[in-house]
Amino acid sequence: MTDRKNVDTDQNSGDNTVSGSRGWAKLKRNRAALAGGILLLIYLLCALGAPVLFRGDPSAPDLMNSLSPPSGAYFLGTDELGRSILGRILYGARVSLLIAVGVVGVGLVIGVPVGLVSGYYGGKTDFIIQRFTDMMLAFPGFLLALALVAILGVGLKNTVISIGISMIPLYIRLVRGCVLTVKEEVYVEAARACGTRDLNIIRHHILPNVLAPIIIQTSLGMGTAILFAAGLGFLGIGVQPPTPEWGSMLGSARAYMMGKPHVATFPGIAIFLAVLSFNLLGDGLRDAFDPRSRI
Amino acid sequence: MNEKTAPGPVLEVTNLKKYFPVKKGFFQRTVNHVKAVDGVSFYLNAGETLGLVGESGCGKTTVGRCVLRLTNPTAGDIVFKGKNLAHMDTETLRQVRTSLQIIFQDPFSSLNPRMNVATIIAEPIKNFQRLSNKACRGKVAELMDRVGLRPSQMYRYPHEFSGGQRQRIGIARALASNPDVIVCDEAVSALDVSIQAQIVNLLKDLQTELNLAYLFIAHDLSVVEYISRRIAVMYLGHIVELASSRELNDNPLHPYTKALLSAVPIPDPLADQDQEIILTGDVPSPLDPPEGCTFHPRCPMAMEKCRTIPAYHEISPGHWVACHIYPTS
C-alpha cells in the first residue's frame, strides 16, 4: 500500500522517472521476472562451469553408443554420433550466450549512437537515417539475417554479425523515439542555455534518460538472438558442427524424431527455456522501469 | 529601488519577430504562420528589472527564448553588450551564454532527474572553466549557500527537494556562470504564494549584490510590479505599452493595460471595485490575428481607425504606447 502511495505523490510532482531503488523493489516482487532471472543465472553457471559439469569432449564421437536413450552413463542420452547430449547442451549454452551477447552488442554499439544522433539532430540527418531503417525493417528480421549469412558465409562470427545487423534498425527506432521525447524536456533546454555542447548534452542528459528502454530491449533482444541463431543452426547455415549448438543439434536430430525423440527434445527444451527466461526478465524489467507502463 | 544602474542598455532587442510555420499535407507545405512575436522592441539596462506581462499565449515566453537564442528568431536584432546574437554562430553564442542565463518556470522539469544537485549546479561552471573537482565543489557550496540551500545537501537528487528548493537550485545554476542578465521565465508562477514571495525577495537580494539585470516574464501583474522598475505589457505578439512600474500603475494608457490592472485584486474590502473592466471574448488566434490593432475586437474603446496598425510611440519620457487613442504628435 505504502508503495502505491509513493507512486501517486511521484506522479503529482510531475516526475516521470522511477528512481532506481523502487524499480528494483518492484522487479524483486515480480515472480515471473525473478524466475527468469534465476533461470538465466543457471544458464550462465552451466556455460561457465561446462568443463566441470561435463568431463570429456562434447564433440568426440562414440559410434558404439549412438542414439542411446537417457541412462546412468549418459544422463540425457546420446545423439546419432554417440556424443553426450548433456555435454553438448552445456557447451551449447556457451555458444548461445556468446551469440546473445555478441548480437546485442552489435545492435547496441551501432544502433544506440545512430538513434541518438537521428533523434537529437532531426532534420535531414534524421530523414536519411530513418529511410535507411525503413528499408531494413521492410525485411522480416530473420529473412534479413538469412540474406546476410548468404552474403557473409556460415560460422559463429558471421552468425553474430548477420543477426546483429538485422537487429540494428530496432535499436535505432527505439532510441530515436525515446530521444524525441527526452530532448523536448526543459532540462535539455536548460543545459543548452548554460552553454553545454551537443555531445555532452547527449551524453549526460539524453542517454541516461533513455537507458531504461534500452536495457529492456537488450534483455528481450538476447532471447530473440538465441532463437534466430538456433534457427540458422537448424537450417545448417549457422554455427557449424562439430561446435555444439542447440539449433544445429535440433536440425540433425530431426531425422530421428519418430524413433528417438529424446535427441531432439532436450536441445529444444534448452532453447525454449533460454528464450523464455530472457523474455520473462525483459518483461519484468519493463514493468519495473518503463514509466509508460505505470498507469 | 534599483537605482545604481550603469549607463546604456546591456540588452537591446529591436523589432524581434518569431513566426512558427504551420505545415500541412503530405509534402509538409507551409500553409500559414503563427505570429507568436511580431515586432517587439525593448532595452534592458544593467542592474535593472524589466517586467514582461501578458496573458497566456501572448508570446512573452517566446520573447525570452528568442533573447537566449534557444529558438531562432525569424527577424530582428538582439544586441547583448554590443554584440548581435541574432546572427551569431553556435560557438560564439555558447561563449555569450556565460553572461546570459535563464530561470525556468517549472522547477520540476527543468532539473535532470538523474543528476545530483552538485552536478546540476556545476554544469555551467565546467562548461567554461577548468577547475579541479574540489574547487568546483567549493563553488557549488558557495552558490547553494547564496541561494539559501544547505551545501550539505549537494549530493541529493532533485526529487528529494520541494518546489521552492528546486527553484533555488535553478537559480544557483543560473548564477554559476556569473551572468549579467537573467531571463526569469515565469520563475515564480509554479510556486505557492508564500514561496513566491521568498523567491522574489531572493531574486531582489541577488540583484543588489551582483548587479544583475532581469527580464522578468510573468502573467501576475502584482508580482511584476513588485520586482520591476519598468514593465512592458504584451498582447498577441506585440508590446502595447511600456512604462516605469509606478507610471504604469498610476497612469495606464492602453485599454488593455487598464483592463489588466483592474483585474488585480485589491486587498481592501472597502476599496472601490466598480471600476473593474471585464474584457469580453477570447484572445484571437495568432494564426489569424485581427487586422490593424490586434486588440480592437475586444477593446471597449475601439474606433473605426483601429483597423489600421497603431504606431508604437513615446507619449511621455519613458512611457511608450501603441494605441490610436493617443495620437503621435
Cβ–Cβ below 8 Å for A186 and B127:
no
Q: Is the pLDDT assigned to residue A207 strictly greater than 60? A: yes
Residue A223 DSSP one-character state: H
Residue A66 DSSP one-character state: T
Work out the minimum CA distance from B87 to partner chain A, whole angstroms: 17
Q: Is the pLDDT assigned to residue B270 strictly greater than 80? A: no
Work out the minimum CA distance from B158 to partner chain A, whole angstroms: 10
Q: Is the pLDDT assigned to residue A292 strictly greater than 90? A: no
Alpha-carbon distance of B114 to B138, in angstroms, equals 22
Cβ–Cβ below 8 Å for B127 and A194:
yes
Cβ–Cβ below 8 Å for B97 and A209:
no
Phi/psi of residue A85, each to 5°?
-70, -40
Q: What is the pLDDT of residue B269?
A: 75
State the average pLDDT over residues B198-210.
92
- The answer to whether the CB of A115 falls within 8 A of the CB of A172 is yes
A239: pLDDT confidence band, cut at 50, 70 and 90? Answer: confident
Q: What is the pLDDT of residue A9?
A: 35
Q: By the CB < 8 Å criterion, does A199 face chain B?
A: no
Q: By the CB < 8 Å criterion, does B69 face chain A?
A: no
B300: pLDDT confidence band, cut at 50, 70 and 90? Answer: confident
Nearest Cα neighbor of B162 from A12, A289, A17 is A12
Cβ–Cβ below 8 Å for A209 and B95:
no
State the average pLDDT over residues B292-319.
86
Q: By the CB < 8 Å criterion, does A134 face chain B?
A: no
* Sign of torsion over alpha carbons A186, A191, A192, A193: positive
User: What number of C-beta contacts closer than 8 Å exist between A and B?
Assistant: 73
Q: Which of B112, B128, B174 sits opposite A205 (nearest CB)?
A: B112
Cβ–Cβ below 8 Å for B94 and A19:
no
Length of chain B: 329
State the average pLDDT over residues A136-157.
91
Q: Which residue has the higher pLDDT, A295 or B75?
A: B75
Q: Which of B68, B114, B123 sits opposite A196 (nearest CB)?
A: B123
Averaged pLDDT score across all residues of chain B: 87
Long-range contacts at B281-289 (CB < 8 A, ≥ 24 apart): B283/B55, B283/B57, B283/B58, B283/B235, B283/B236, B284/B236, B286/B34, B286/B35, B286/B36, B286/B57, B286/B59, B286/B236, B286/B237, B287/B22, B287/B32, B287/B33, B287/B34, B288/B32, B289/B35, B289/B38, B289/B236, B289/B237
Q: How many CB atoms lie within 10 A of CB A122?
A: 14
Q: What is the pLDDT of residue B4?
A: 44
Work out the minimum CA distance from B254 to partner chain A, whole angstroms: 34
Averaged pLDDT score across all residues of chain A: 85
A256: pLDDT confidence band, cut at 50, 70 and 90? Answer: confident
Q: Is the pLDDT assigned to residue B280 strictly greater than 80? A: no
CA-to-CA separations, B299 to B291, B302, B306, in angstroms, rounded: 13, 5, 10
Cβ–Cβ below 8 Å for B114 and A208:
yes
- The single-letter code of the amino acid at A131 is R
Identify whether A242 is preceded by a cis peptide bond (ω within 30 of 0).
Answer: yes
Torsion angle in degrees (nearest 10) through CA of B52, B143, B109, B126: 110
Note the pTM of the prediction, 2 decimals.
0.81
Q: Tell me: the pLDDT tens digits for A98-123?
A: 999 999 999 999 999 999 999 999 88
Q: Which of B102, B112, B157 sits opposite A187 (nearest CB)?
A: B112
Cβ–Cβ below 8 Å for B104 and A15:
no
User: How many Cα neighbours within 13 Å face the side chain of B17?
Assistant: 11
Pull the grid cell for residue B114: 538523474
Please name every residue paired with B19 in a beta bridge, in sequence order, or none if there are none: B35
B28: pLDDT confidence band, cut at 50, 70 and 90? Answer: confident
CA-to-CA separations, B317 to A173, B253, B310, B314, in angstroms, rounded: 59, 14, 19, 7
Beta strand B83-84 with B75-80 is antiparallel
- The answer to whether the CB of B79 falls within 8 A of the CB of B41 is no
Alpha-carbon distance of B250 to A218, in angstroms, equals 65
Percent of chain A with pLDDT strictly greater than 90: 48
Q: Is the pLDDT assigned to residue A8 strictly greater than 70? A: no
| A87-108: burial string, b at 16+ Cβ within 10 Å, e else | bbbbbbbbbbbebbebbbebbb
Q: By the CB < 8 Å criterion, does B23 face chain A?
A: no
Residues of B with Cβ-Cβ distance to A204 under 8 angstroms? 112, 115, 123
State the average pLDDT over residues A270-294.
82
Least confident of A20-24, A97-101, B160-164, B223-227: A20-24
Q: By the CB < 8 Å criterion, does A295 face chain B?
A: no
- The answer to whether the CB of B157 falls within 8 A of the CB of B38 is no
- The single-letter code of the amino acid at A170 is L
Q: How many CB atoms lie within 10 A of CB B45?
A: 19
Residues of B with Cβ-Cβ distance to A197 under 8 angstroms? 94, 127
Nearest Cα neighbor of A219 from A289, A149, A160 is A289
Cβ–Cβ below 8 Å for A194 and B112:
no
Work out the minimum CA distance from B89 to partner chain A, whole angstroms: 13
Q: Tell me: the pLDDT tens digits for B36-62?
A: 888 899 999 988 999 999 888 888 889
**Most distant CA atoms of chain B, gap in Å:** 68
Beta strand B29-45 with B9-24 is antiparallel
Q: State the distance between the two ends of chain B, measured CA to CA, in whole angstroms.
A: 32
Q: Is the pLDDT assigned to residue B329 strictly greater than 70? A: no
State the average pLDDT over residues B139-167.
91
CA-to-CA separations, A54 to A63, A97, A279, A288, in angstroms, rounded: 19, 18, 28, 37
Q: Which of A19, A187, A192 sits opposite B111 (nearest CB)?
A: A187
State the average pLDDT over residues B244-255.
90
Q: By the CB < 8 Å criterion, does B187 face chain A?
A: no
Q: What is the pLDDT of residue A290?
A: 65
Q: What is the pLDDT of residue A20?
A: 62
Residues of B with Cβ-Cβ distance to A185 under 8 angstroms? 109
Least confident of A157-161, B1-5, B100-104, B171-175: B1-5
Which residue is closest to A208 within chain B, CA to CA? Answer: B114
Alpha-carbon distance of B184 to B191, in angstroms, equals 14
Interacting residues of A283 by C-beta distance below 8 A, sequence separation 6+: A32, A33, A220
Q: Is the pLDDT assigned to residue A285 strictly greater than 90? A: no
Cβ–Cβ below 8 Å for B108 and A13:
yes
Alpha-carbon distance of B244 to B239, in angstroms, equals 14
Q: State the distance between the two ends of chain A, measured CA to CA, in whole angstroms.
A: 16
Work out the minimum CA distance from B144 to partner chain A, whole angstroms: 17
- The answer to whether the CB of B105 falls within 8 A of the CB of B186 is yes
Which residue is closest to A186 within chain B, CA to CA? Answer: B110
Q: By the CB < 8 Å criterion, does B173 face chain A?
A: yes
Helix (H) or strand (E) holding B171: helix B163-175
Q: By the CB < 8 Å criterion, does A21 face chain B?
A: no
Q: What is the pLDDT of residue B208?
A: 92
Nearest Cα neighbor of A144 from A228, A218, A78, A66 is A228
State the average pLDDT over residues B119-143.
90
Q: How many CB atoms lie within 10 A of CB B29?
A: 10
Q: Tell me: the pLDDT tens digits for B148-160?
A: 999 999 899 898 8
- SS3 assignment, position A73: coil
Which residue is closest to A192 within chain B, CA to CA? Answer: B70
State the average pLDDT over residues B75-91.
88
Work out the minimum CA distance from A277 to partner chain B, whole angstroms: 29
- The answer to whether the CB of B52 falls within 8 A of the CB of B183 is no
The interface predicted TM-score of the complex, written ipTM, equals 0.84
Residues of A with Cβ-Cβ distance to B102 under 8 angstroms? 190, 193
Cβ–Cβ below 8 Å for B95 and A192:
no
Least confident of A206-215, B25-34, B238-247: B25-34
Q: Is the pLDDT assigned to residue A293 strictly greater than 60? A: no
Pull the grid cell for residue A114: 545512430
Q: By the CB < 8 Å criterion, does A13 face chain B?
A: yes
Q: Which of B111, B124, B170 sits opposite A195 (nearest CB)?
A: B124
Work out the minimum CA distance from A184 to partner chain B, whole angstroms: 10
CA B62 vs. chain centroid, Å, equals: 9
State the average pLDDT over residues B300-315.
86
B1: pLDDT confidence band, cut at 50, 70 and 90? Answer: very low
A200: pLDDT confidence band, cut at 50, 70 and 90? Answer: very high
Percent of chain A with pLDDT strictly greater than 70: 91
Alpha-carbon distance of A228 to A104, in angstroms, equals 12
Work out the minimum CA distance from B146 to partner chain A, whole angstroms: 19
- The answer to whether the CB of A89 falls within 8 A of the CB of A246 is yes
Q: For an interface test with A, which of B114, B121, B159 has the most A Cβ atoms less than 10 Å from its Cβ?
A: B114
Q: Is the pLDDT assigned to residue A251 strictly greater than 50? A: yes
**Most distant CA atoms of chain A, gap in Å:** 76
The residue whose grid cell reads 532527474 is B113
Q: What is the pLDDT of residue A3?
A: 40
Nearest Cα neighbor of B172 from B213, B209, B202 is B202
Q: By the CB < 8 Å criterion, does A123 face chain B?
A: no
